[in-house]
Structure 1
């Protein structure tokens, strides 16, 4: 985006297109990142850059899982990245969904599930996962961090309250339930949820959608956390980064906190005890559900399980 805004547009408008250089298309094409990685590692299977707003890199991981399941690949590299640019953030600020209230205290700005949440804090970064069928991973003595049990991607169709910028609650619930079914587990087996939870008005609706999908009341609800409380919202890269967070928690047996939410939103105050405020040891942590929701009413959910020697 920065390259287009600061280089392509000015030079094209000035009629100096030859100054762009012969590699400009490589730098700005949507599939440039995956193509670049493919060349670096010699990837010879599907090489794709998908795009589904904030669900993008979750979907990439699920697509890689499906490809291995179908017998079309032994291993895949999947993830996402997002650059830091005001040319993207400016649009969200125009929508009044970026936090301005805590500019004098930035560390308090990202407040998912909080009554005083005032919008998301933009972030940037990236993460990649190596997915591999079990047999080949064991054969090469790979370090296995977790199992991907299942996942699902769907769309709410922008119906029943869903819009271009808001999720259809029924679509969200259907996505979660289908991911659980695909994983071959029962909803009662989920120990923790790594939610999408962005510090916007949608947070309490998301928690309620989880409760409805899992059929669990506050007393037996899983722990629920927001990685974005600590790193902000990395948009297309959010899913992959938060998948890594989920996997490392399973691997090391702990749950990271959701910071800045001491004042729980009144609509979900009954779930307050299920929101870790501090890092907590959890040696028996077995299954984490990771969700991502994006503009266009798109949804994704992945079920991760702690790897245990068979």
Structure 2
């Protein structure tokens, strides 16, 4: 018999909050975590702003031993370990130091580009003939699965421990992969999430593509404008989000807090055919992904209260909403829709998991966070949906079902459906 899957733990490492209470408060108040980065100015970037979690040395010492911190130079691993460990503790799980791993719990924690600064450090040392100075952790900090390996060792997980990578879809895909494993009875719990490094060596390629805003360097908090008529490109960000998925029977047995239930979802690709390309989505594939997620979750379009969109603050925002309108054609009233990226920027491979955390909080606490920096909605969007469906102030009302979407480079898509647990 297929298992029901619920969420029992949350962790976040966001530009606008490095704990769940801090993050929730920022969501409610519409607080941006985007700041000016002098290093980007020194390197002649057009866009000199970005979203970066602030982690103090004291905070680091809470999650890493002095030995683990020695030579640690991967911001993605730092963000992932903090959010993953916090989600574990939030779920009421203990970190065992015994000799036997937890065979019933696994990890799927994704990333895009990991350990870029460590790579740069290693390249310099190798070019200078100083290979022996690389240190013993250079490999695990730069391998894609470094984040799941770090978390697996810290938490002692003995089920599947792996890393996925699907550009901006990574975090939402990781959640659905973990969901499927529990649903099939192959694990009781899965820690799922994703992380992204910060800095010029990650963000530089996007600046070169001229898809980042270069006219808000003096006004960083106003720069990210999803769905706005004035949107001029996405602001790069970084961080990590983490969630504990658990089969319902296990969660009830141990008396865990249940944030919400995962009903299902869909993952697909547009094959870079039709309108699809390496950087643009195939609209038919996006619509099929939305419809497939609803079908797999046994949910009708009219039951969706809120869409947490991908919505990056580019010209593609109106295209995304057109795809939602067409996919939900049976729905007489379009759901509310919001985007986290106005507050955090686009956190790349971390975005899906961070936005899943934000979605779950909205269901659990019955509120819809505002779309900041969207004073004037893009006219193409207003041709599709009414303005009141794009809240600019917090809405406090019961939220039963949220559809969360992520669309990534490579023409890949993921949609997950969350429902209040009753």
Q: TM-score range by the shorter chain?
A: over 0.9
- What is the aligned residue count? 305
What residue is the counterpart of 1:90 in the other structure?
Answer: 204
Secondary structure at the aligned position of 2:161 is classed as: coil
Q: 1:281 aligns with which of 384, 396, 407?
A: 396
Unaligned 5+ segments in structure 1 are: none
What residue is the counterpart of 1:263 in the other structure?
Answer: 376
Q: Partners of 2:330 and 2:300 in 1: how far apart?
A: 12
Secondary structure at the aligned position of 2:210 is classed as: coil
Alignment of 1:2-81 (within 5 A): 2-5=117-120, 7-81=121-195
Q: Partners of 1:216 and 1:26 in 2: how far apart?
A: 49
Secondary structure at the aligned position of 2:162 is classed as: coil
Unaligned 5+ segments in structure 2 are: 1-115
Secondary structure at the aligned position of 2:280 is classed as: coil
What residue is the counterpart of 2:287 in the other structure?
Answer: 173
What residue is the counterpart of 2:275 in the other structure?
Answer: 161
Q: 2:337 aligns with which of 218, 224, 228?
A: 224
Q: If the length of structure 1 is used for normalisation, what is the TM-score?
A: 0.97
1:24 Cα offset (Å): 1.2
Q: What do the CA deviations read for 1:24-52 (whole angstroms, capped 9, x no partner)? A: 11111110000110011111111111110
1:152 Cα offset (Å): 1.0
Q: Partners of 1:191 and 1:110 in 2: how far apart?
A: 25
Query: Is 1:126 paired with 2:240?
Result: yes
Aligned CA RMSD, in angstroms, stands at: 1.0
Q: Which runs of 4+ in 1 moved over 2 A?
A: none
Query: Is 1:113 paired with 2:227?
Result: yes
Q: Partners of 2:215 and 2:397 in 1: how far apart?
A: 34
Q: What do the CA deviations read for 1:52-76 (whole angstroms, capped 9, x no partner)? A: 0000011000000000011111110
1:169 Cα offset (Å): 0.2
Distance 1:131-1:171 versus aligned 2 partners, 3 A rule: same
Q: If the length of structure 2 is used for normalisation, what is the TM-score?
A: 0.71
Q: Partners of 2:361 and 2:137 in 1: how far apart?
A: 38
